[in-house]
Chains A and B, each alone.
Chain A
Amino acid sequence: MNLNYSDEQNMLREQVLKFCETNYDFTDREKILESEVGYSTENWKEFAELGWLAVPFSEDNGGYNFGPIELTVLFEEFGKSLVVEPYLSSVVMSGTILENSNYPAKQALLESIISGDHQISVAYAEANIGYNFLDCVTSLDAQGDNLVLNGSKTIVLNAANSNQFIVLAIHDGKPALVLVNSDASGLELQSFRTLDGQTCGELTFENVALNSDALIASGDEATALFNQMIDVSILCISAEAVGAMTSAYQKTVQYTKEREQFSQPISNFQVLQHRMVDMFVETEITKSLLIKATLQLDSKDAEASKTISALKVQVGKAGKYIGQQAVQLHGGMGVSNEMSIGHYLKRFTVIDSMFGNTQHHINKYSSL
């Protein structure tokens, strides 16, 4: 079994690593989060110039024909530095839906995403349905030759910066995905920050009138596109988590070597050594499941969804453990906002809550 990355994949990793080393130390990140849009528009432009926004798309749509493996390479490196640019919402989530759809306008939309000038977010979550996103109540009804959208969506990533939304709604009693402009009349946005400083919003739709050509997919096609998007998204945030785990344990090892107490570095104490070994082991174990899930998704293996649920369970448990222990071993410094380590714990907490938490995916894993 060949588990080595190709030269091309290693080059991509090097490129992201170098970018983060130059542009993404902790103070850079803090400044980025203080800006109004919540990410760096300059970085986003550079992502576009470096071709990163084209990574998962086919050549027909202006992409590089890469797939899940390259996405996880990108996200693992993003995770190490806690990168906040809206890659997940625009490129991965909206991009995956559009790329795999039969939507006639998809090529132009993907090209605009790849250029970096246009952002699209998926509005999928709703109050009162937990993680069962397809059981939503937002409705898309026919009105003459046109469509009308009513309802609300919550936790829409990067909502305030998006030009358009792909909204999950019920149409003819079945799931549908529909494209809505952010300036559509009857659409209201309430924007807020996420636990880890990114931007997010709630959308309400009151009789939002749409042309029939706004419909991306409906029925079984919409369900398949949506589920595929969730699988790819889980894979990406899991890779991000593995990167963050790697940084969190390495920063902890570094800190305990420098921090002296009782006239010696605290890394001399076996109880701390074994704790850090446990953090390292959890990181490696998570990486193993990540690689397995990535290869299965890449080869369209029928077991991929089950492995992705297993991965999400492991990411949830390991992220919580590593995040908490990293803070504990940093002592009082671990709970200060001015040190990066607490921000890793925040990101692990956010990642666990997205696309189904640990408990949700244990149930899903058992049912598959």
Chain B
Amino acid sequence: MISDLNKKIAEVEIDLMALEFTELRALAAIAGGGHPGAESSILKIRGTEIQQRISELFVEAAGQYILAYEGPDGFESNKTPAGPDHASDSVAHYLNFRKTSIYGGSNEIQKNIIAKAILGV
């Protein structure tokens, strides 16, 4: 039996694999003379969700070291961040990546697009 964190990593890895192949399907459609259309909204929604989940996993793995926040400009050059390397900027990435489901047409707008263009509701 694997740990809870390892299970989440495996799940996000599987979702990333599926996203990558969804992208290839869209590219193959273009190569075949078609156009991906509203299906590319799938890529925006899932891509940003996966980005955000990975950034959450970094925070989870960093544990208590996320308290040692580097500040908006990073750690001053003569200071060594507390904790392992992966921990030092994990929380900054996590907070920064909240933007991805907002920009480029928020994920809610993407869902409106799919609802109208593909589902016809």
Q: Which residues of A contact B (CB under 8 A)?
A: 1-4, 253, 256-257, 267-268, 270, 272-274, 276-278, 280-281, 284-289, 291-292, 307, 310, 313-314, 362-363, 365-366
Known: A273-B121, A277-B115. A4 touches B32 (CB 8 A): yes
Q: What's the nearest-Cβ distance from chain B to residue A113, in Å?
A: 33
Give the 5 A-B CB pairs with smallest separation, nearest first: A288-B21, A273-B115, A3-B28, A267-B121, A288-B22
Closest to A307 in B: B17
What B residues does A253 contact at CB under 8 A?
119-121
How big is the B interface, by class?
20 to 34
Q: Is the CB of A280 within 8 A of B121?
A: no
B115 touches A286 (CB 8 A): no
Q: Does B22 lie within 8 Å of A285, measured CB to CB?
A: yes
Contact A285 B2 (CB under 8 A): no
Instruction: Tell me the minimal C-beta distance from A162 to chain B in angstroms.
Output: 35
Q: Do residues B17 and A277 form an inter-chain contact, with CB atoms below 8 A?
A: no
Contacts of A285 in B (CB 8 A): 15, 18-19, 22, 42, 46
CB closest chain-A residue, reference B110: A277
- CB of A289 within 8 A of CB of B24, answer no
CB of A254, distance to nearest CB on chain B (Å) = 10
Collect the chain B residues with CB atoms within 8 Å of residue A268's CB. 121
Q: Per a CB cutoff under 8 Å, which of A257, A267, A270, A314 touches B18?
A: A314
Contact B114 A280 (CB under 8 A): yes
Residues from chain A with a CB closer than 8 A to the CB of B67 are: none
Chain B residue at minimum C-beta to C-beta distance from A256: B121
Chain B proximity of A99: nearest CB distance (Å): 28
- Once the chains are docked, how many angstroms separate the CA of A268 from the CA of B115? 10
Bound-complex Cα distance A281 to B39 (A): 9
